[in-house]
Structure 1
Amino acid sequence: MHLRIDKLAKAWNGHVVLDGVSFTAAENDFVCLLGPSGCGKTTLLRIVAGLTSADSGQVWLDGRDITALPASDRRMGLVFQSYSLFPDRTAAANIAYPMHLRRRPAADIAHRVDELLRLVGLGELGARYPGELSGGQQQRVALARALAAEPELLLLDEPLSALDPALRTQLRLDIRKVQRSLGIPTIMVTHDRDEALSMADTIVCMNQGRIEQVGSPRDLYERPRTRFVADFIGRANLLPTGFVREVLAGFLERRPPGNEAAYELCLRPEDLIVTADPRGEAVVEDVTFLGNCARASIAWRGRRLLAEWPGHSTLGRGEAVNVDARRGAWVSA
């Protein structure tokens, strides 16, 4: 494993921020630390970067214990939410800065800057100052600067949160493309589940200083282990065992992995099978057309469920329906 986090713990003024966090990341992995504000993900990133010290635990990179290594000796590239560009330096000069600190030859620096400007799609904009660039362009400069010193690990702290949705979507693709082309292992902090699902090879889902689940985006979406992961990673219908026993008995053939009372069945909206039936015991309460799909609220046996189906369906508000499910996952309540 290229990166190993081993039992990291951190507290501020008696408040536990990280509580024995451990996970590993393979070489070339794009890892997203996902969770709500205050869950410890940025503190974890700063410990990996060497900007914050851990109270206990270790950080291993490429087989080396770097826990006590100063940030200046870690060869990591950092991109912050605020970009932190020098306003009085051009885009090219901002990118060149870390190479000047390492006393690289001027010709090598000029060549590398040109290379990085092209890589991030700013080949003609090197002479512009940050104030002359859009937010997305500034973020690309910050990314190029982080890559300039050929870091062993790239660290991104919510780099897209200040951008508008359309630009954020484009930069997700661009950052992932750059990361893949360079093969550089990357850790990104985000509270946006769409970012994590679309960008990550591995998601580390955190809550209150602990890791709830580690796995691929598909693992966490289709096979969440806890109620928190089921809710945070996407829309979820969470049904108690008694309800499932009564109306979805087929799922009880696949028993929960422990005491039934301690588990709920997670059904994603698109996993519900909704069919029109005048004698059906469920009713469509509301439907929102979203183009490729429709999202509906279904009243069923005293519960309200969220369902999604293809946008071409003609099911409408007030219609009686039958409800079944094609798949689900048992989660600890």
Structure 2
Amino acid sequence: MAQNATIACHRLGFHRQSCLPDSQPELDDGSRDVTIQPQADHLRRRRWPPPLAAPAISDLTRGATKPPPAAACDRAARRAAVAVARDRASHRRRRHHRRRQICHAYACARDSTPPMRRGREEDPRHRRRSPGCVEFPGTSCGDPSFTGGDGVTYYFHGRKDQDFCIVSDVDLHINAHFIGNHNPVYKRNFTWIQAIGVTFGDHRLYVGARKAVVWEEDEDHIDITFNGGPINIDTANNAQWVSKAQSGLSLQRTDVVNSIKVDLANVFSISASAVPITDEDSKIHSYGKTAKDSLVHLDFRFKFHSLSDVVDGVLGQTYRSNYVNKMNVTAKMPIMGGAPKYFSSGLFSTDCAVSKFRHIGGVHALAA
């Protein structure tokens, strides 16, 4: 009886000392011999989860409480295992949520303050990233990935030296010009957005990255034109330019060079940063960069204030209220296909197959 009680007690996780029979010799002061206690302490330290409070020794050994059956012990063990697994899953969720909070806080800080200048001696893993590289709705970054209005990040590779409509609405049309590089080793083409052409009302706005064989950190690599005329804006942080031809249109530098923000009141806000492909980037991603071109491109962040529900384009369609995402969003790299229907004959052409541009009533009708 005592042996069975000890085994049942041990199965439930009780301390070994609590499972000793009443026949254990007593000391002169009436207490029990604790010579086995060091070994019991060792077992206690190794046991997880911690043992429950043990019933009185006399109850187990004298028959006042019968040892629990094996089935009860198995159920208790299963419940304990489920509880441990649940705690671990909860811990992973909390850790993941905390990481997202840190990333979002860092991203917000970057977006609200002028981005860091890229230092030559910085760790490449901590190198300054442009506003477009934060995965918020309306961003375009790198080889190019887009984060749609629905919050899903996907890739659209386009084709080298061709133009594609990324946003097409009734009175707003944005095309992007793609540049590329072919890596013969991996037989793969990589593309980036080099420039955008924004058509609204009777106006045309061009924002592009200037080609550079060697990237110079202190040199401005962004070209901007409005209705065919160049816009000269001082190379100073927060320097501004305000249009006289279109009310509500303004430009502002968010860094001394290579980062600008274009605003059209009640219509859109576009942040753009010129970024090169470094040797480190090429080595990591196998871009196949050569000494002939630093592959300067633009990363963007778009904000739209008055899109209609018929908007289309690589990015624009994701802002429709009835948009259904048909990509495999569980894939490591969700890719949007159908490049031919987004193809435009020129940077300011509105002839892509999904074009919605009608230019009715000017830009003020869109803002209204």
User: The TM-score by the shorter chain falls in which range?
Assistant: under 0.3
* Greater fraction helix: 1
* Greater fraction strand: 1
Query: What TM-score does the superposition give when structure 1 sets the normalisation length?
Result: 0.23
Query: What TM-score does the superposition give when structure 2 sets the normalisation length?
Result: 0.22
Look at both structures and tell me which one has the larger radius of gyration over its CA atoms.
2
